[in-house]
A and B are shown apart, each in its own frame.
Chain A
């Protein structure tokens, strides 16, 4: 039986245009990142520093969240806690209803994707308008993001040109990137002024000052957080850092790891609603802090490292699996290596546990992770949790649910043979002697490969003539 994931992968592998789009984009991003770190020693120092900042914040998470909340409130920001995505959506809904808002304009926010906010609000008749160019494009096409920082990266310029022409037939067809961008800009600009409520994500929350930091390139983040009279920020509880001085190193490694930029065009530090006498800014600022499984991840000392993530996407850009299958194959909000460790933990190993398997553990992700998340180790741990018999020592959702009798029996037999050398080596010798009788069709292995050829005789047999000692 072929899993849903494998079926999707098959379908997506068969789309040469999409595959080419990913290849081109990821190659560019890898090169740009590399160019930003000419000094390898400096990079490693910055990675260690960034890891320490995030690890420190997580080690004090409950305390920092309390400090953060107190300082946000002091700054006039209203704080809301949501244990689940549903609660988060209801909080947003309540704010919208209080302002009688029938639409919301959104800056880019992966947490809002995680909450399924657009779908939720649209069923209530509220229009959600994505103002990030990539998000705007995929919203036009009814798609979900295929990458956490470049949501429309699976599309090329021509595909986008055709999409714009289809959706806005009154505007002349163009394949010029600048013209396409200006087109989206004009459409969005009016909406910013006509919409009461703007929404954004958050990159870092500073506990000591009660500041929300937002990194972006297009200015839509600044527009969403300043032009409408109400600003709602949504983010995960793990995004907190202790002090303002933690921000510069993280910001520097974030932008360089993500898009290979020394700094983004915009960096917003939001420290409250419009004060008396100020000419602009929202009258209300809300922060929705989403848990959605994060506390459970937090409770495991090993899996906790998952929450260090600053969402730069470098692991995705460097993943040889992602670049081939594309972001949509994962069937999750967060794709790629970070998604493969985060999503199974959030949704449960029974739901997304296969993602932990969809990796060669090559380590390209952890090699570039700016906060040194040991992604292959966590994938290995999730594989273990998925098939472990005794689940009493783990909190991972769906632990043990991937264990099958046949696979467990196979490994048990293998272990028995490999701990009985006499039998094991008799078996290997027999196999080499009668190798002509071995099957040449080995199912999955032989779809693109010839069956492996056994040697004429094993190393154990040959070593006898080699003049080596045996103990």
Chain B
């Protein structure tokens, strides 16, 4: 069992930065809640995966190299995406094989964790559900499932939420058809895949769709939106934060910075890992989708 670090790096990913910032914010809040200090290197941009998967390795490497330089301390790097985590953990060593900075890339790779993996395996996070009864469908990205092997983590986190019922959909392990540039290069196949995925999810009739990867969410929710009746969707971090935060859309009670944290306010024994409150829970606890 890895020791619990007091500080981690957070790599937000380009997609979260532009499309789903709330997922990144919630993820950092979850980490802070568990008593972990978060370092967010501001110069971070993209892991380089789009170019890597398109065959443009030199370009991918130059972008990856710029990211590697941002994580010098020997502490974990937590990423709210199976896809980007997979790029850094699995493919950085391949991308830098034989390069002068190979050792540095391998070191960074060895410190990468996908968020749900980190919450479950390293922080052993304990969640107390404060939300209303709700059903959710889970879509696990292929990179989280197969490359990172962490499909069970999101399920275990949701399993901790007493008022959340998971509903299963047909062909759950099947790819949603995003595949990065695949969606644009082979749009017909991608469309066929995502339309099927949407049908299966709709048939399960969840109140919400939850995933650990924003790329899949972008694909699936965009398709639902075009059909005109989108099931609300959220990144797992945002959803968890909403569930464990009382009245997420209201300003914090007791003055800024003084809010009793759900884990501390509850009558159940506080998580041994619960650290300082954030003081920002109210502001960022809303649902953005």
Contact = CB atoms under 8 A, between A and B. Distances in A.
A360 B178 contact: yes
A415 B59 contact: yes
Interface string A430-471: 011000000000011111111111110111111101111111
Given A462-B25, A463-B28, A466-B28, A384 B182 contact: no
Interface in A373-413: 377, 380, 383-389, 402, 407-408, 411-412
A469 B174 contact: no
Contacts of B191: 447-448
B81 interface: no
A184 interface: no
A189 B192 CA distance: 43
B269 interface: no
A431 B18 CA distance: 9
A449 B219 contact: yes
- Interface range on chain B (Cβ under 8 Å from partner): 35 or more
B12 interface: yes
A9 B189 contact: yes
B174 A458 contact: no
A441 to B, nearest CB: 12
Nearest to A419: B66
A326 to B, nearest CB: 11
Interface in B1-50: 7, 10, 12, 14, 16-22, 24-25, 28-29, 32, 37-46, 48, 50
- By CB atoms of chain B within 10 A, which of A387, A431, A467 has the most? A467
B167 interface: no
Contacts of B52: 380
Interface stretch (B113-121, B126-134, B279-287): B279-287
A324 interface: yes
B82 to A, nearest CB: 11
A465 B283 contact: yes
A445 B187 contact: yes
Contacts of A81: none
B223 interface: yes
Contact of A383 (B28, B53, B184, B193): B53
Contacts of A445: 183-184, 187, 222
B59 A414 contact: yes
A224 to B, nearest CB: 37
Nearest to A412: B59
A360 B189 CA distance: 10
B42 A448 contact: no
A419 B193 contact: no
Contact of B54 (A320, A411, A452): A411
B124 interface: no
Contacts of A9: 186, 188-189
- Interface range on chain A (Cβ under 8 Å from partner): 35 or more
Interface string B41-83: 1111110101111111111101101100000000000000000
Contact of A467 (B180, B218, B280): B280
B142 interface: yes
B172 interface: no
B177 interface: yes
A387 B28 contact: no
Contacts of B194: 448-449
B238 to A, nearest CB: 12
Nearest to A450: B225
B40 A470 contact: yes
A357 B17 contact: no
Interface in A1-56: 6, 9-10, 13
A9 B219 CA distance: 20
A101 interface: no
Contacts of B195: 448
Given A324-B193, A450-B222, A459-B24, A469 B179 contact: no
A428 interface: yes
A448 to B, nearest CB: 4
Contact of A428 (B17, B183, B185, B218): B17
B173 to A, nearest CB: 8
Nearest to B83: A361
Given A421-B44, A446-B226, A364 B38 contact: no
A157 B150 CA distance: 41
A321 interface: yes
A458 B17 contact: yes
A359 interface: yes
A197 B19 CA distance: 65
Nearest to B193: A320
B59 A384 contact: no
A15 to B, nearest CB: 12
A320 B63 CA distance: 31
A385 B17 CA distance: 31
A158 interface: no
Interface in A121-153: none
Given A419-B45, A454-B18, 15 more contacts: A360-B182, A361-B182, A363-B146, A364-B174, A383-B54, A383-B55, A412-B59, A448-B195, A451-B222, A459-B24, A462-B25, A463-B12, A463-B24, A469-B7, A471-B39
6 contacts: A320-B177, A414-B50, A415-B58, A418-B66, A419-B45, A470-B40
8 nearest CB pairs, A to B:
A360-B179, A449-B222, A383-B55, A444-B187, A362-B175, A363-B146, A415-B59, A362-B142
